[in-house]
Amino acid sequence: MFRRKFFTVILVLALFLAVASIPRAYSQTTSVTAIILPEKDVYIVPDDNNHNYDEIFVGREGGVPYRSLLYFNISGCIPSGAVINEAKLYLYIETISFKEDIELRVMALTAYWEEDEVTWYRRTKTESWSRRGGDFTTEAYATYTLKESATAGDTICIDLTDLVRKWKNKEIENYGIIILIPPPDEAGPNPGKVQFSSRETYIGGAPFWQAPRLHVSYTRLVPPSWHVVPHPFKPSINIPIPTNGFRLALENDTLQVEQGSFASTTLTVVSLSNPTVELNAISTHPGISVSFNTTTVTPPSSAKVTVTVDPTTPPGDYKVSIEGYNPSNGKSDVAELTVQVKAPASFTLTLDKKRVEVVQGGTGMFTIYVNPVDSYSQTVTLSVSSPISGITVNLSPSSGVPPFASSAVVNVASSAAPGTYTLNVVASGADGTTLIDTIDVVVKSAAPARCSSIILTLSPNLIVLDPQKAKSETVKANVNGVGVCNVKLSLHNVPSGVKYTVNPATCRAPCSFTIEFEVGSMATPGKYSVDIRAEDVSGTVFDSKVLKLEIKKALAGKFDYSISVSPTSIKMYQGETATATVTLNLLTGSPQPVSLRVEQCPADLSCSINPSTVTPPAVATLTVNAGSAKGTYTIIVKASRGSIVKTVQVEVTVEEKTCFIATATYGSEVAEEVQFLRRFRNELVLSTYAGRCFYQVFNAFYYSWSPYVAKFILDNPWIKAPVRILLYPLLLSLKIASFIGIALFAVNPEIAVVTAGIVASALIGLFYFTPIVLLVLRKYRLSKNLFIVLFLLVITFTVHIALAEVFSLTPLMMLATTMLTLEMALLTPLTVKKLLDNLLFQVFF
């Protein structure tokens, strides 16, 4: 019995020693996040070509579906006994053309495929997919809604935890994933596509975080081969380090950051060797950004991690994943940083009442309470703004550290008009925090007191006027009164040649008047005393003061002036008119008349300046008419007074407007028909005054709609032939008109262009409007009186054109030429209708 007990005790001790001898590491667990880059990634479209490039696409555009295939080998990265906590796929957006929110679906591939051979139809060089576009599960293992607001440079995160666990547990075979948009058929809507970076992007030299990568977080027992070292920032905590691997260590796992502010922590790499580790951060909220002072770290160096929070980011806890990747051996780690976003400390502003009633000349009171929010300890300054000067507020105290209360005394002047006024109560913290509340002050009428005295003060009481500089001076007249005084101001003994204005006409004391004096060139130099009188409108109470006024003589010396022009360069189109302002200022001496003229105006332009004689300081207007000119020209304006001659230059660029419809129809601006239309406009129409005036009206009408018609013709080539046919009568009309106009041009260009316009509009009416008139008026006979009226209108418009020519009346010329053109276009088809009616009447009756 004793022997059995002895052997039992020995066995228990042996087992205890055996368990105790097991390395302590096996009793510890650790959470590890592995960053796995794809071994294969490619995209496919409905063709038999392989698309293994630097990018992958997902979407459907132009009727073509795009799908991306990726394969991650997890067997070598996740130990067999590990428990997967989560798995997330990160994809970096290079370009995106989606115009709406689009759902991405992640399906598990069910057949092996080769990266350099796979196509829409084949998975290897010799084996085809069982269905076109890939063999994959019918149900999605993950979905992700890609927002319309996503842009290039964003990184998306898709949760693949369920799928990776099934790969790990051998529930399904790992052939990779395929990413597509619904429906999973070739046909469907065409919302656009998104381009992600592929693993070839990283191989080509881009940062690792641009490549697709799978974050797999798992928990495992620490094996004996791992080393356990103290945390560099928290020595009481041990960190297990894998062989040839590393761990990321943060000085702070949690950062508290106020909205609109930032905070920093330190990150280092813990390793038995000294690997160079690349860093990247992924934020779960767009309002939280992370930056590093260096994106590569080699122990024992460290990196400063700065987290910046946008002012609009809601308070709460947010996760930031910091990736570390060793490109030399593919080892990786991820550190999680919690960002606690807090609203900045602030304060509240409260008033004990929202309305105060005060009689004119009286006072009222209210109390302002300022209380802290979240330990706010900054000094807060109070102020109250009133919409009128007759209401003021005294605060006691006017500032303090919350919590505190301030007594506000409202003072209402007797001159304040009765009514309700809203005052702004402003509380401004030393940190820039500002709160505003309002209070209504109701001013009630007091018994009116008769004005018993008025006191007038002037500021300044001496002014000097310089006629040479055409200088004005301002005087403030301040009025105070006893009782209710409605005051007006009057001035006496003002010297000849001095003008003045008083503003306002009347006011209720206490108040101020503004008097502005301006001296003319004819004022006599000397010293004067101007009496200024302020009196109650009843005329019974007044006060007066003397203003000393001195008018200086013009400076002695030779007359001189300066000249400038604005703008110095003008851009315009053919047929347009532009202006520039020529300014002359007096430099020395007395003002004298200066002659102005256009010294250099190119022959293709028409230039004029008005007025042609000015006395500085003064301005004149330079008018430039482009006509048919085309190119860049320099215009010189010359100013002269005796031997004092000065010039300024204006650069004018004239551009040619395109004949949109003809160019679109004939396919080129150099087509013969387009060139003829351009010559007709430039050489005949725009070379005359009447033609330029008409062209301004036609130009505004034609270019308001012709670009849209031209675009329709370009987008629909089939319509070019019918439009050419429609343009033939127009070209014929203009050619006949051009022939007649050129023949008359040598006699008188203005008569030539008006005659050509009459002929052209008459022929256009004949060709285009006659069928319409015959159709619409087929049941009506036209009276002789109608034609008498029409011919009288032709004569009237022609007379107006002549008058406009003689007196250069541009608006009249624009109206008369336009109306004559429309008149002739209507008269021709009506005349044809009348002749046909007469012919038919003679034949049948």
797-803 average pLDDT score: 84
**pLDDT score, position 17:** 46
- Which has the minimum average pLDDT: 282-296, 372-386, 656-670, 779-793? 656-670
User: At 458, is the secondary structure helix, strand, or coil?
Assistant: strand
Please work out, in degrees rounded to the nearest 5, the angle formed at the alpha carbon of residue 651 by the alpha carbons of 646 and 655: 155
Q: Is there a contact between 690 and 813 (Cβ–Cβ < 8 Å)?
A: yes
Burial of 205 (0-12, 13-18, 19+ CB in 10 A): exposed
Residue corresponding to tokens 């304040």: 416
Measured between alpha carbons, how far is residue 416 from residues 285, 363, 445, 839 in Å?
Answer: 55, 12, 9, 89
List the structure tokens of 241.
């380090």
Contacts (Cβ under 8 Å, ≥6 apart) of 675: none
Q: Is there a contact between 255 and 339 (Cβ–Cβ < 8 Å)?
A: yes
State CA 232 to chain mean position distance.
49
The architecture of the domain spanning 222-342 is Sandwich (2.60)
Q: To which H or E segment does residue 317 belong?
A: strand 316-325
Give the pLDDT confidence of 353-405 residue by residue, as tens digits.
999 999 888 899 999 999 998 788 899 999 998 888 889 999 999 999 999 99
Tell me yes or no: is domain 560-655 CATH 3.30.420.40.
no
**pLDDT score, position 521:** 66
Is 376 or 129 the better-scoring residue by pLDDT?
129
| Per-residue DSSP letter, 686 | T
Residue 691's pLDDT band, with cuts at 50, 70 and 90, is confident
**pLDDT score, position 80:** 81
Q: Is there a contact between 702 and 818 (Cβ–Cβ < 8 Å)?
A: no
- The class of domain 453-551 in CATH terms is mainly beta
Q: Is there a contact between 107 and 137 (Cβ–Cβ < 8 Å)?
A: yes
Residue corresponding to tokens 């023949």: 743
Is 506 or 306 the better-scoring residue by pLDDT?
306
- The class of domain 33-217 in CATH terms is mainly beta
| E-only strand ranges, 11-63 | 29-36, 40-44, 55-61
Q: Is there a contact between 634 and 649 (Cβ–Cβ < 8 Å)?
A: yes
**pLDDT score, position 660:** 44
**pLDDT score, position 630:** 74
List the structure tokens of 734.
């203009």
- The Cα 28–Cα 323 span in angstroms is 24
Give the pLDDT confidence of 422-465 residue by residue, as tens digits.
999 999 999 888 999 999 999 998 766 678 888 888 888 888 87
Q: Is there a contact between 194 and 95 (Cβ–Cβ < 8 Å)?
A: yes
Q: Is the pLDDT of residue 13 over 70?
A: no
Residue type at 307? Answer: V
Residue 27's pLDDT band, with cuts at 50, 70 and 90, is very low
List the structure tokens of 350.
């409260």
Q: Where are the domains of the chain?
A: 33-217, 222-342, 346-444, 453-551, 560-655, 660-841
- Which has the minimum average pLDDT: 199-213, 723-737, 748-762? 723-737
Measured between alpha carbons, how far is residue 636 from residues 273, 599, 607, 616, 644 in Å?
Answer: 80, 5, 10, 19, 16
Q: Is the pLDDT of residue 576 over 80?
A: no
- Which has the minimum average pLDDT: 162-176, 418-432, 497-511, 625-639? 625-639
Residue corresponding to tokens 């050489």: 683
**pLDDT score, position 702:** 63
**pLDDT score, position 709:** 65
Highest mean pLDDT among 229-243, 312-326, 468-482, 539-553: 312-326
β-pair type (462-465, 542-551):
parallel
List the structure tokens of 493.
């003994």
Is 163 or 464 the better-scoring residue by pLDDT?
163
* DSSP β-bridge partners for residue 107: 178
Cis amide bond preceding 504, omega within 30: yes
To the nearest whole percent, how much of the chain has pLDDT over 90? 36
Give me the DSSP letters along 105-169: EEEEB-S---TTT--SSBSSSS-B-SSTT--B-SS-SEEEEE-TT--TT-EEEEE-HHHHHHHHT
Residue corresponding to tokens 């007990």: 5
Burial of 71 (0-12, 13-18, 19+ CB in 10 A): middle
Residue 664's pLDDT band, with cuts at 50, 70 and 90, is very low
Give the pLDDT confidence of 92-111 residue by residue, as tens digits.
999 999 989 999 999 999 99
Return mean pLDDT, the chain.
84
Give me the DSSP letters along 334-402: EEEEEEEEEPPPEEEEEES-SEEEEETT-EEEEEEEEEEESS--S-EEEEEE-SSTTEEEEEESSEESS
**pLDDT score, position 706:** 64
**pLDDT score, position 471:** 57
Give the pLDDT confidence of 305-316 residue by residue, as tens digits.
999 999 999 999
Cis amide bond preceding 611, omega within 30: yes
pTM over 0.75: no
Cis amide bond preceding 829, omega within 30: no
63-82 average pLDDT score: 91
* DSSP β-bridge partners for residue 733: none
The sign of the dihedral angle between the CA atoms of 213, 218, 222, 224 is: negative
**pLDDT score, position 549:** 84
Do the first three CATH levels of 33-217 and 346-444 match, i.e. the same topology? no
**pLDDT score, position 175:** 97
Is 89 or 239 the better-scoring residue by pLDDT?
89
Residue 5's pLDDT band, with cuts at 50, 70 and 90, is low
List the structure tokens of 202.
């990283």
**pLDDT score, position 319:** 93
Residue 603's pLDDT band, with cuts at 50, 70 and 90, is confident
| Per-residue DSSP letter, 27 | G
Give the pLDDT confidence of 616-659 residue by residue, as tens digits.
888 999 888 776 667 788 888 888 888 888 888 888 888 766 65
β-pair type (613-614, 83-96):
unpaired
List the structure tokens of 675.
């060139």
End-to-end CA distance of the chain: 157
* CATH T-level assignment (fold) for domain 346-444: Immunoglobulin-like (2.60.40)
Residue type at 567? Answer: P
- The Cα 305–Cα 335 span in angstroms is 12
- The Cα 673–Cα 718 span in angstroms is 19
Is 25 or 163 the better-scoring residue by pLDDT?
163
Q: How many residues does the chain have?
A: 845
Furthest-apart CA pair in the chain: how many Å?
157
For 225-274, the three-class secondary structure string (H helix, E strand, C coil) is: CCEEEECCCCCCCEEEECCCCCEEEECCCEEEEECCCEEEEEEEEECCCC
